[in-house]
Structure 1
């Protein structure tokens, strides 16, 4: 008797499944086709994106080669074109390189180019900070310590990723302004930071020696 009930139950399940399939099969098949099409489209997009990135990488390397060969105008034109129509990462890389190329011909224009990167909300905050640092180094020769400090001091805090470079800029700007107290302060901040790169620590040590030699000799000493 149990076998009969089980057979009836299985027949009912098969019949219900057949009815469901008859009613919904086109939707199931359609969904499956959409999944297949979506996977195919995504794969095609990835392949296209990789091809574009490879092409932009080659274009960028060509622009750098032009710059190294002294063909700065051609390099700038090539970088400008990548900035206009390149893929995301290379567009930003081209902007930074173009700012550097601009600065070799005109420091003021180079600073403006870095300032534009620093003010662009679409640029990652870490890279905005890098743009400020690059502009700061360019400003050291001509800008006042006060102007540089207004820009760079916010980057010199203990929790800031660009603090080492920011402190070096501030120390150098203060030294050039003959503000030996601030120069010493910033270079001391460089060498006492345990995470500072070795090359930067060495430069700071040299600058502290120069600052010490510039200190006026006290009477009676």
Structure 2
């Protein structure tokens, strides 16, 4: 799982820029004084302020290096913990994987924390704890500090985990903003909304949505195939280009039956 880079702003940036600007002005004035052969006056007038500006600039730069190195260390630690947790999950060690996520969830940066919580919720689903998983997903979805992509994914997963206990109308209302063409989550969210339409008995809406997903350029081939089948069952043609579909599915072109 790729983690987004940290977006924490450097608190010393503004001060460093101000110090740099001040230093630049002072250097320009010193240069003017030198050109006018006023060495002694320049040294007396600008020596201490210039030294202070340089020292402040060096201090700010040192603080920036420390902060950047600290952030890099945090990101590396978060990544290592996430990779370790995923390795444990892949081996079937769900409890160990869950334990490995604890430090990231408690102290990780917003992106790493959200990723860790999504994985933790996935572990809960594997452990047949849908209610616990849904609670975690909802927490990520409501986290303003988390990357929007993670929040949207958490919203979809929360609805999926609670689908059997939700009214179709509530499912549609929750996911409709994501189930629109152009949205990165159009396919996954739209499929769930389409199933909710079917549960309402609204086959026309479901068929049209499934067909739109199948025709969307950003839909994965696997989802395209599934959506074409669903749309076809509902009497909606979801195929614009037969040759493209044949290439995607690997189906051979049927032989010609024309008489010789």
Question: Is TM-score (shorter-chain normalized) higher than 0.5?
Answer: yes
Aligned to 1:70: 92
Which whole-Å CA distance do the structure 1 matches of 2:155 and 2:101 have between them?
21
Contact 1:140/1:172, CA 8 A, preserved across alignment: no
Aligned to 1:200: 223
Aligned to 2:29: none
Question: Is 1:94 matched up with 2:113?
Answer: no
List runs of 5+ in structure 2 lacking aligned partners.
1-32, 236-260
List runs of 5+ in structure 1 lacking aligned partners.
1-9, 213-221
Contact 1:63/1:75, CA 8 A, preserved across alignment: yes
Offset, 1:190: 1.2
Give me the TM-score of the superposition, normalised by structure 2.
0.68
Which whole-Å CA distance do the structure 2 matches of 1:207 and 1:143 have between them?
22
- The count of aligned residue pairs is 202
CA gap of 1:187–1:71, structure 2 versus 1, over 3 A, is same
SS at match of 1:155: coil
Aligned to 1:130: 153
- The Cα RMSD (Å) is 2.5
Q: Give CA-to-partner distance per residue, 1:191-214, whole Å, 9 cap, x none.
A: 2334333221111012223445xx
Aligned to 2:166: 143
CA gap of 1:177–1:141, structure 2 versus 1, over 3 A, is farther
Give me the TM-score of the superposition, normalised by structure 1.
0.79
Aligned to 1:33: 55
Larger relative helix fraction: 1
Contact 2:138/2:155, CA 8 A, preserved across alignment: yes
